[in-house]
Structure 1
Amino acid sequence: MAKIDPSLYLHNQKERTPSPNLGKDEFLKILMTQLKNQDPTNPMDDRQFVSQMAEFSSLEQMMNMSNSINTLVESQLVSPVIKYSHMLGKEVTYQSYDEETGKETEIKTSRVVAVSQNEGWAILELENGEKIYADAALQVNDPAFEETEDK
């Protein structure tokens, strides 16, 4: 009597997990397999082929556009200059320090005229010539809002 090879049992087979993503490489593999295995007496209609290539081109363009938008959004979120650009024209109140002793001196208020960055930190350049880190601001006021409120 012939023996059955135990490696052929179903419970010994590795489970294949399909990929949820179908990218352009997979699409091209499917298309090439389709072309290789088509019936030579009844080849694929050229209109179907053109239609599939157009779909592939459209898919690739949408993927490129999505990647470009993601890159743009990420670059805007990361840049401290863009993150704090809304501070331009605002008045900030901050604690000033004596450069020699490092001790607190007084609380000052000045208008933001520029935003720059240094080693990834946002620097607010003020109308009075001083520069402070954005997170050193104690209070932010909008002078334009206060002027319309007074009228």
Structure 2
Amino acid sequence: MKMLIVSDNHGWDSILTDLKRRYKGKVDAMIHCGDSEMTAEDPAVDGYTIVRGNCDSEDQFPNDLLESVEDCRVFVTHGHRYNIKMTLTNLAMKAKETGADFVFFGHSHTAGAEMADGVLYLNPGSISLPRGRREKTYAIVDVKKSKIAVRFFDERHHEVEALSCTFSR
């Protein structure tokens, strides 16, 4: 199973369209972690499982989502309501409460992934306004029976190898 995770495009609609074109039929889910600054009717967000970020005014986007993708439980949030810039503790409590296998979030614009207590926490970074690195990033999570590969890519779809990692499942 493969999932595309993107966040914080802040109105840059053509990158979302480009990602859909590139990955249609190649991933099982396209997830947006908020701050799209778009409406639910915008064609660029069509096909994405999307949550509301602190810069979004669209009230049709939920604050949080718990989705099943194949045999995995995926919790998606923007992160601002969980104070993710200070700690992942609140997200860890939510992951335990919901039984999530994966927690995807944005908000900090900082790309990274870590495994804790069997849960993968992933921030794809910002596809438009990165912090901590110069690359504008999104992520592809490839889940196999015994491993999870996380690959980060820039807006030109070149892998950012320094961020990519693999975890045992």
If asked which structure has higher relative contact order (CA below 8 Å, sep 6+), I would say 2
TM over 0.5: no
Richer in strand (by share): 2
TM-score by length of 2: 0.16
TM-score by length of 1: 0.17
Richer in helix (by share): 1
